Amino acid sequence: MNTDATLLDSARAWLGQDPDEETRAELQGLIDAATAGDTGVLADLHDRFDERLAFGTAGLRGEIAAGPNRMNRVLVSQAAAGLAAYLVGAAEPGTTPSVVIGYDGRKNSAVFARDTAELMAGAGVRAVLLPRLLPTPVLAFAVRHLDVSAGVMVTASHNPPNDNGYKVYLGGANHGSQIVAPVDGAIAEQILRVAAEGHVPSLPRGAFETAAEDVVDAYVAATAAVASAAPAEGRAELSVVYTAMHGVGWETARRVLGAAGFAEPHVVAAQIEPDAAFPTVAFPNPEEPGAMDLALETAAALGAELIIANDPDADRLAVAIPAAAEPSGYRRLSGNELGALLGWRAAREAAEEAGDSGPTGTLACSIVSSPALQAVASRYGLDFANTLTGFKWVSRAPGLIFGFEEALGYLVNPGTVRDKDGISAAVALLDLASQLKVSGSSLAAHLEEFTATFGAYASSQVSVRVTDLSRIAEVMRAFRADPPVEIGGIRVRQIDDLGEGFGALPPSDVLRIWLEDGSRVMVRPSGTEPKLKVYIDASSTDGSVAEREAAAAATVAALETGMRTLVGA
């Protein structure tokens, strides 16, 4: 930890290289107050300067403010220069590395993207900036479409309004997937070198290219092709409500759905245009309570058959279906439920295409997602891969034909986008729902059919948001030092500590707890938010559909009660 004197020196040095008027004024005010003896401000400065946002496989993400432990133009410039140095060093002799850069509608996204493009170009990297604010999946697509060395997306996805972030993708043999170790460490080393040696105003800048609209056109065409070109049983029109959650999804999603032959959805007008303030939601995340309230109200007024929601950068998809028993008249499907249905769709399509030779390929999901997908893979003779959390891992499963994770992320077209994509997932879901309607069925009935075919799979999640990150480490240490022998009245059979790696899985701060009845509990720190997360899964294949669902739900409820006690939720 810096002494107060060195802290103020560090703050003044940072101030001297900050090109942003807003954060300069903010930091100058803090320096003045701390110099005058304000102890509260000193504590704030220590939080900003004693550490820096770590660059890892999730890139960078944090609150926009001054200092190395916040997101700002100094930190982003250092990251861009460090990434450029890595790309130049990794390039084949005689070749010029290249990068495509995208950005969403959050505060400072366009500024951070332009800084990145200029600094990349100044460092000898061919830099291509997407033509305007666009969804994250378009950037992931552009990495492969433009055949560049890397991609950068400036977004904080579904984080609180004043956050922003910096995601990095790799081209070539990585096929546009997000970075994983050891590349993240190598990039981080270069970033730290730039921070230690450089002075942001002295970093060279150069001219970048702006991508033509045909990049977006190509994404639209490739994503529209996810829908069945000519479904044998036809396609029924659905009454659909769509919300962009104040993000950038609507312009692109509208074009894709039209190209795929779907009627234009009704929209939640108050949330359809990009707005960095996110005025109608506390957290712009479809998983958060209240985030979809306006969509539910709009759907109820219209009598809509389906609600679809993208998060602000449109890489996630939330879905709600009519449910008379719910106060709103609708029930939001969990990520596990939608992942199971889309995985089943992918398996059926693979089987139909393969014919008598039998389907090949892999269904993949993260280790914290429902085991339901593994049951689908087994039934269809497909390979199954369980990966660490994050699409940087899911997307790398060999032979992938479909991947998902419970946090509303789905990869339905790995031939074009190697990341979760809320727009292509919406196309796949609408294609399925419209064909079900033609046959006199629905998504609700299809879920019951899934249970009758594969069993009931119930899931729950406990999230403990903290203000002190050390609290998460304390809980993880306590579990390892004194592991539970039973949870919710169900005896623990085995605990897998993934901290040292487990089987083919790389090391990760995750505990996987197996119960005697075959149910499972996962405990891990969140990779993007100050949360401890607990994932609970149980299944049943005994009795009728209703009996299976009741048994699985009862087990999950007991385990959730037990885990809330253990983690203090």
Catalytic positions are 157
Burial environment of residue 468 by CB neighbours within 10 A (0 to 12, 13 to 18, 19 or more):
exposed
Written as six digits, the tokens of 5 are 């004197």
Contact 223, 424 (CB under 8 A): yes
Q: Are 152 and 102 in contact (CB under 8 A)?
A: yes
Q: What are phi and psi of 277, to 5 degrees?
A: -85, -15
Alpha carbon 9 to its chain centroid, in Å, reads: 38
Integer angstrom CA distances of residue 368 from 8, 44, 389, 415, 462: 43, 35, 7, 25, 12
Residue that is written with structure tokens 């100044």 in the block: 122
| 7-15 own/partner pairs: CB under 8 Å, 24+ apart | 7/34, 7/42, 7/45, 7/46, 7/49, 7/50, 8/34, 8/35, 8/45, 10/49, 11/45, 11/48, 11/49, 11/67, 14/49, 14/66, 14/67, 14/68, 14/74, 15/66
> Which of 286, 293, 326 has the alpha carbon at shortest distance from 310?
286
d(CA 483, CA 36): 49
Q: Is 142 helix (H, G, I), strand (E, B) or coil?
A: helix
CA dist 205 and 287 (Å) reads 40
Q: In which element (H, E) is residue 534 found?
A: strand 531-540
CA distances from 340 to 14, 314, 333, 428 (A): 49, 20, 11, 13
Tell the residue number behind the tokens 């046959």, with chain if given: 439
Q: Would you call 336 helix, strand, or coil by DSSP?
A: helix
3-class secondary-structure state, position 337? helix
> Are 430 and 443 a contacting pair, CB within 8 Å?
no
